[in-house]
Structure 1
Amino acid sequence: MKRIVRPLCAGAVLLAPFAVLAAGDGPGQAAKQATNWTAISMFAAFVLLTLWITKWAAARTRSAADFYTAGGGITGFQNGLAIAGDYMSAASFLGISAAVMATGYDGLIYSIGFLVGWPVITFLMAERLRNLGKFTFADVAGYRFKQTPIRAFAASGTLVVVAFYLIAQMVGAGQLIKLLFGLDYWIAVVLVGGLMMVYVLFGGMTATTWVQIIKAILLLAGVSFMAFMVLAQYGFSPEALFAKGVQVKTALAQNAGKSAEEAGQAGLSIMQPGGFVKDPISAISFGMALMFGTAGLPHILMRFFTVPDAKEARKSVFWATTWIGYFYVLIFIIGFGAIALVLTNPEFADVSKGVIKGGAGTANMAAVLVAKSVGGDVFFGFISAVAFATILAVVAGLTLSGASAVSHDLYATVFKKGKADSAKELKVSRMTTLALGVVAVVLGIAFEKQNIAFMVSLAFAIAASANFPVLFMSVLWKDCTTKGAVIGGFLGLVSSVALTVVSPSVWEVTLGNPKGSAWFPYTSPALFSMAIGFAGIWLFSLLDRSAQAAKERGLFPAQQVRSETGLGAAGASGH
């Protein structure tokens, strides 16, 4: 996979951490391994099981509510597992463990950043989302506003986030399968796109939810076994594992020609922060993108409408946070396990250089090689299949949120003024799913050799700079108006895209401009573009003295009562 400057998750969605690790010049150079029949047979079993679930779900998907939200019949515990499944992407699993292998302690910045976003959702968003919304986060943001402009903005923000996430996931899937299963890149991309379309087209949210739940259980079981087996080799002492990691990194530094003192410091550096993010502004901006981006991701927000009430929404966030937190603790252990078990094994790595064999992109296989070290070929096949299945589930959730933005926000509410019948809305949604699937496959193939870090970081920065401020201000600030929300939201959207394009990672690395020529010096624009978004909403809302604005301010108490109590939420139309 192409060298990537700085990764950013996602959960999500999240491909980002694939980023840090690549060691070569282009994804096309990644070595294609021999076909792994154990992995393929396990993957085939997973696909057959999920296709059966899709057939079962299709029989239960009769209305738009069934398609978008599984009829609101998912329990808090089930939804918590599904959210965790949506969020613990193959990239989180492979990428963060490999980031820990590369930088040690600094790899934790991803885990902590992603995790800290969940209390924001728990205490500020989950209950209000469930009480005010129906199918999409635009139902919540536009509760008391004019429907056409707010939904046009919400659909724009959603589709941009979904597009960048989808491309990144497709590129990641192609590279992963190319490395693991020995298939050609384009075949892997078409396979993922085709399966995703089947899940969403026929099963809707019910099928997607159960695919995510099964994937979450398999992934949690797999990483639990891996972490247990890694610790077992060091007497269940994390201290002994970390000491081995320091010893390996020190030896590698000595092999690279450093003095004993420098080598010792290089070894110890994996237990210290500061090697990845160099200056405070970048650290704050990066952290804000991770934290608040989570609270603005459309495919995560959409999951709160699948539960019957606000109590179950809170419960689902509690369970999601529990599983995701547990997962990230284990990933840290697996990352150090990769230093101790993979970098010292001549079968997997060039032990003199501390580089995994196989060319560009293979550093991302660190966790999978840990699985082979502790569980042999069968467990290696299992983890490989789970990693691929993980991308399927994430892509299905993303596609569903994109389809709902077009069919519910644009077609049903803007074009049909809320008078579209359920069957036609469902038809539009399925057509959109098909279109998104084709676009994702085509762009996934087209971007094979492209640096994908900026696409993932852009998705998080947009979610934090556009979706989150509008959602936050519309629900919690009584003076927020349609004009303020739409102008401020678009300012956040445009500024996050523009600042990312002129940052070093895109301007210099991707576009090939001279080093030092980037107009914006920081890696993540979130600190600045979020501020622009919030300031725009505040300023243009205060300047709006129209009769419509007065009416919207007058509707705030009713919105507040419903958001806090849920009165009138059952069966409501969302506006």
Structure 2
Amino acid sequence: MPDLGTLGLAPTLLQNGVTGDTNPVYLGIFVLYLLLVLGIGAWAYRKTDTVGDFWVYGKELGPWLATWSYVANFVSAVSVIGFVGAVYGGGYSILTGIIFGLMLGVSGLYFVVHKIRELNHVTFPDIIAEITGYEVARPITGFVLLGNAWVYLIMQLVGAGLLVTVITGVPYEYMVWVIGFVFIAYTVMGGLISVAWTDLVQGTLMVATVAVALVFMVFDLGGLVSINSQFAAMSSANVAPLGEGTYTVLGVLASIVAFFGTIFTSQNTIVRINATKDIKTAKVHLAAGGLILSVFYVMLILLGGATTVALENAGLAVDNVDRAFPVLITEYVPTVVGTVIIVAILSGILSTTDTRLHSCGVTTSRDIYDYFTDGETSGEKLMRVSRISTIGFGIAATGIAVNPPGTIISLYNWRAILLTSALLIPVYVTLYRREMSGEAVLLSIVLGTAFGPGWEALGSPLGVPATFMGVGMSILGLVAGHLVWQGQEGVRPQPTASDD
């Protein structure tokens, strides 16, 4: 889920000690919300009997639950703030530069679902072990995915803690621990059962309340035509498809590739696809989820334009674009409407963090611990390892989020480049070309991992996006490696680990 620079705000606010007056109404709503999701977690604990329940809902996830769980997981609190802030600072061009890529990413995933389900595995490293024929691919890929999920946890906690602090007035260092404790607790209790049911509540509330907020702003500002006219009058770049140099055609293409790669190679995406009860359900939940998300993001972009016009008319300009939406809530809209928006934001806070935390637990137990114990560990012990690692990674992420580094957004970009460069091409190609050399696939992963993030660290020389460099080297490794090893393989070794 793209966070769009919103986390760059956190270090500045924390260093300046910025907190607002305590708002008892917003604080009360926040507390009630936390109690609700904890209650769902306690209920899910009683439904979680096996490690299969904890990991993949016993592979019984239905279309309605799967759809809203996917929607809630896809949209985070940080992305809500970030998209509105991006529109405030750069106009509607984000619709072309970012959201277009996101929706094409979801659409592309639809066409590979059947291939993922045919492999009948649990996690993404399982798939890589299958297509390479080497079990060692599981921990190698697992460590990459674990680092990605953990960085994402930190980013979500910082964004969520900052947002709730601004709205409720509770000091950040306390709020981030409260949020961390709650999402750790209910994720540990029920695994994917907790995550899916809380996401159902969160996803529904999130979409509905953003719609309500947009309707209020449209009526308040005289209609969509009036909003867009005022928005264009502020700057013609606000309504230009690519802004004033904000995006280039090459950059948009890189965005599409990067977001598809990130979506396709996310552990939580693969886990959800494998948790559905059949291929039809897996396809339906992606198609329906993609449609809901497309409408939701359009509403969010329009809300960003309305926010910009409203703040401009009220003389409430902000020095950091990421404060635009919090200022709209606290300074512009009535308390009742602010309450509605708070519900949407709170829905996004936990719906994304719980998914990443659940992925950490699954990856640690299934792809790393299970490998080093030769796949002979009992399901009961694997579930215990999942819960312990979930607690450990959650506490560690929360502790770092209390005093976050100032370069978190660069880490977000790094993780997107890493996943796409390392995994997109070798895995996607070999899902359809099973005769590809296993060694070539591993070489492709290694080259993509090295050159994608490495090129980004060098500042993307020659104007070549790091995603293109990483994917290009990944392709080169796959082709060259296959030419070298295809005649030397004999019989490809087959994975021995069984699915739980």
Give the TM-score, by structure 2 length: 0.92
2:375 pairs, out of 403, 407, 418, with 418
Q: Deviations over 1:116-149 (max 9, x none)?
A: 101110012x222223233211222222533432
Q: Deviation per CA, 1:198-233: give whole Å up to 9, x if none.
A: 022111000011111111111111111112222224
Aligned to 1:149: 136
Q: Distance in 2 between matches of 1:99 and 1:433?
A: 33
For residues 423 and 435 of structure 2, the distance between their equivalents in structure 1, rounded to whole angstroms, comes to: 18
Q: Greater helix share, 1 or 2?
A: 2
Whether 1:116 aligns to 2:104 is yes
Q: Which residue of 2 aligns with 1:539?
A: 480
1:406 — aligned with what? 364
Distance in 2 (CA, whole Å) between partners of 1:90 and 1:424 is 34
Report SS of the residue matched to 1:35: coil
The 3 A distance-change label for structure 1 pair 27 and 115 is: farther
Counterpart of 2:205?
Answer: 218
> 2:446 corresponds to which residue?
490
Q: Secondary structure at the match of 1:142?
A: helix
Cα distance, 1:522–1:30 mapped onto 2, change above 3 Å:
farther
Q: Bigger CA drift: 99-108 or 179-188?
A: 179-188
Task: Name the residue aligned to 1:433.
Answer: 390
The Cα shift of 1:27 comes to 4.5
Greater mean alpha carbon deviation, residues 66-75 or residues 31-40: 31-40
Question: Amino acid of the residue matched to residue 98 of structure 2?
Answer: Y
Q: CA deviation at 1:326?
A: 1.0
Amino acid at match of 2:439: K
Report the TM-score, using the length of structure 1 for normalisation: 0.81
Deviation at 1:532, TM superposition (A): 1.4
- Is 1:318 aligned to 2:287, yes or no? yes
Cα pair distance change 1:82/1:95, threshold 3 Å: same
Aligned: 1:240 with 2:240: no
Report the CA distance between 1:158 and its aligned residue.
0.7
Instruction: Give the AA of the match of 1:112.
Output: F
Q: Which runs of 5+ in 2 are unaligned?
A: none
- Contact preservation (8 Å) 2:132, 2:442: no
Q: Residue 454 of structure 1 corresponds to which residue in structure 2?
A: 410
Aligned length: 497
Within 1, Cα distance between the matches of 2:300 and 2:414?
25
Report the CA distance shift for 1:30/1:213 in structure 2 as closer, same or farther (over 3 A).
Answer: farther
Q: Deviations over 1:274-322 (max 9, x none)?
A: 4353554444323321232222222222211221111100011011101
Could you give the per-residue CA deviations for residues 399-427 of structure 1, whole angstroms, max 9, x where no partner exists? 11122111101222x22222221011111
Residue aligning to 1:552: 492
> Hey, what does 2:66 align to over in structure 1?
79
Q: Which runs of 4+ in 1 moved over 6 A?
A: none
Partner of 1:510: none
Which amino acid counterpart does residue 540 of structure 1 have in structure 2?
A: G
Instruction: Give the whole-Å Cα distance in 2 for the aligned partners of 1:442 and 1:540.
Output: 43
Aligned with 1:31: secondary structure?
coil
Tell me if the contact between 1:465 and 1:496 (Cα under 8 Å) persists in the aligned partners: yes
- Is 1:499 paired with 2:486? no
Q: Kindly indicate whether residue 353 of structure 2 is the aligned counterpart of residue 395 of structure 1.
A: yes
Counterpart in the other structure of 1:134: 121
CA–CA distance in structure 2, aligned partners of residues 522 and 206 of structure 1: 45
One-letter code aligned to 1:275: E
Give the CA deviation at 1:437.
0.9
CA deviation profile, 1:231-269 (whole Å, cap 9, x unmatched): 224554x3322101123x2xxxxxxxxxxxxxxxxx212
When structure 1 is superposed on structure 2, of 292-301 and 227-236 the one drifting more is: 227-236
The alpha-carbon distance between structure 1 residues 62 and 381, as it changes in their structure 2 partners (threshold 3 A), is: same
Alpha-carbon distance in 2 for matches of 1:336, 1:180: 21
Contact 2:221 2:310 (8 Å CA) reproduced: no
Flag the 1:309–1:453 CA change in 2: closer, same or farther, 3 A: same
- Residue pair 2:422, 2:448 contacting (<8 A) in 1 also: yes
Q: Which residue of 2 aligns with 1:258?
A: none
Q: Are 2:19 and 1:15 equivalent residues in the alignment?
A: no
Question: Aligned in 2, Cα 1:182/1:276: closer, same or farther, shift over 3 Å?
Answer: farther
Name the structure 2 match of 1:332: 301
Change (3 A) 1:215 1:100: same
Give 1:49 deviation, angstroms: 1.2
- Contact kept, 8 Å, 2:84 with 2:304, in 1: the verdict is yes
Q: Which runs of 5+ in 1 are unaligned?
A: 1-9, 250-266, 350-354, 504-518, 560-571
**Aligned to 1:378, which of 309, 325, 336?**
336
Q: CA deviation at 1:83?
A: 0.6
Specify the alignment match of 2:30 in structure 1: 43
- Whether the 8 Å contact between 1:77 and 1:319 is mirrored in structure 2 is no
